[in-house]
Chain A
Amino acid sequence: GAVVSQHPSRVICKSGTSVKIECRSLDFQATTMFWYRQFPKQSLMLMATSNEGSKATYEQGVEKDKFLINHASLTLSTLTVTSAHPEDSSFYICSARVGTLNYGYTFGSGTRLTVV
């Protein structure tokens, strides 16, 4: 149980275009989801916390207008990278908190974004 599905797994887009990444909880309801960015050979950096039905909370230094997060339902959160540039190329991972913190977090399989 507690599976998070993330799509697409890989995407290549042109500079200036927008890309949407989906994160779905398949067998549970996720009121809170998290979006991370991971640079090669580095750790995960939290970008924002997504709460169902409310605005996302962004970490310091993360551009809200560039990384749009929508959490319109209890099973779906989306991250849209707007006007993408090559420096946005990275590995993006979502996770969902299952129940209370004691249950831990379930992670999606990640999305490799390449902006050319």
Chain B
Amino acid sequence: AQSVTQPDIHITVSEGASLELRCNYSYGATPYLFWYVQSPGQGLQLLLKYFSGDTLVQGIKGFEAEFKRSQSSFNLRKPSVHWSDAAEYFCAVGLTGGGNKLTFGTGTQLKVEL
């Protein structure tokens, strides 16, 4: 079965600093990959997704992610973090079979220091 690992439970960065959130997946083939953001008490908002093609994906709010097949990784990056980026970030894997279900990582809580 596929799995998703987000090694960092908490990350704190200063406003204006760069950010990288890690995500590793385990699956026999190339899965569909997603990054979602969740504010407290809210649902999830899609930041970006990767299916095929260019391995560097641009998303909303200035986020980007790079798919690296050799490392089974899909890390999320942002050049300059804003205080409003403080939230929970989830990496997810989707498959074409098995009911098209998403498997989520455990999430990374981002704190932004002013």
With A93-B43, A101-B32 already in contact, the answer to whether A43 and B99 are too (CB < 8 A) is no
For the residues of B in contact with A, the DSSP-based class is strand
Instruction: Return 15 A-B CB contacts under 8 Å, by A number.
Output: A32-B99, A42-B106, A43-B90, A43-B104, A43-B106, A44-B104, A46-B101, A91-B41, A93-B44, A97-B100, A101-B100, A107-B36, A108-B43, A109-B42, A110-B42
User: Contact at B94–A110, with CB atoms within 8 Å?
Assistant: no
Contacts of B42 in A (CB 8 A): 109-110
Q: What per-residue 1/0 map shows which CB atoms of B44-61 lie under 8 Å from chain A?
A: 111001010000000000
Q: Which residue of A lies closest to B36 (CB)?
A: A107
Considering only residues 68-110 of chain B, those with a C-beta below 8 Å from chain A are 90, 94, 96, 99-107, 109
Would A110 and B43 be within 8 Å (CB), given that A46-B101, A57-B99 are in contact? yes
The answer to whether the Cβ of B34 comes within 8 Å of any Cβ in the partner chain is: yes
Which chain A residues (76-94) contact chain B, with CB distance < 8 Å? 91, 93
Find chain A residues with CB under 8 A from B32 CB. Answer: 101-102
Minimum distance in angstroms from B2 CB to a CB of chain A: 12
Which chain B residue shows the least CB distance to A106?
Answer: B46
- Quote the shortest CB–CB distance from A30 to chain B (angstroms): 12
Chain A neighbourhood of B106, CB < 8 A: 42-43
